[in-house]
Amino acid sequence: MKLAGVIVIVGGWLIATVAALQVASLRGKLAMNVIGIAVVLYGLVGLLNRAHLKTAIWKGGRPH
């Protein structure tokens, strides 16, 4: 789950930059950027952070 989060975050960045720069129109670049940032945030909040919360200390996880 953590690895998936990291992969999605990087994927979102690729959409917002490398893919967006392939689009000719400025509106298209803007849209790709917004989509890319949304994907990044999903990876961060929806996947990576959720994975950390699964083992949160108030649920009996760390600290060691």
Partner 1 sequence: MLALVAFLAPAVWGQAPAPSAPSATAPSAQAVAAPLTDQDLKKIAGPKPEELAKGDPGGTLTGTVNDVVVSDPKKGLTLSDLVNQAGQNRVAINFVWTLITGYLVMFMQAGFALVETGLCRAKNASHTMMMNFMVYGAGMLAYWVMGFALQMGGSAGVGLGGVAPLSGEFTVNILGKPWGLFGTHGFFLTQGGSYDVGIMVLFLFQMVFMDTATTIVTGAAAERWKFAAFIVSTLFLGAITYPLYGNWAWGGGWLSQLGKNYGLGHGYCDFAGSGVVHAVGGVTALAVSMILGPRIGKYTRDGKANAIPGHDIVLVLTGCFILAFGWFGFNPGSTLAASGNGALRIGSIAVSTMLAGMTGSFAAMLYMWIRFGKPDASMSGNGLLAGLVAITAPSGFVNTVGACIIGFAAGVLVCLSVEFVEKILKVDDPVGAISVHGACGLWGVLSVGLFADGTSNYGGSWNNVDGSVTGLFYGDPGQFVAQLMGVATLVGVVFTLSYVFNTLVDVVVGQRVSARSELQGLDLPEMGALGYPEFQLVTTHPSQAAAGL
Which positions touch partner 1 (CB under 8 A)? 6, 9-10, 12-14, 16-18, 20-22, 26, 29-30, 33-34, 36-37, 40-41, 44-45, 48-49, 52-53, 56-59, 61-64
**11: amino acid identity, one letter:** G
CB of 51 to partner 1, least distance (A): 9
Residues 6+ apart with CB under 8 A from 58: none
Q: What angle do CA 32, 37, 38 make, to 5 degrees?
A: 100
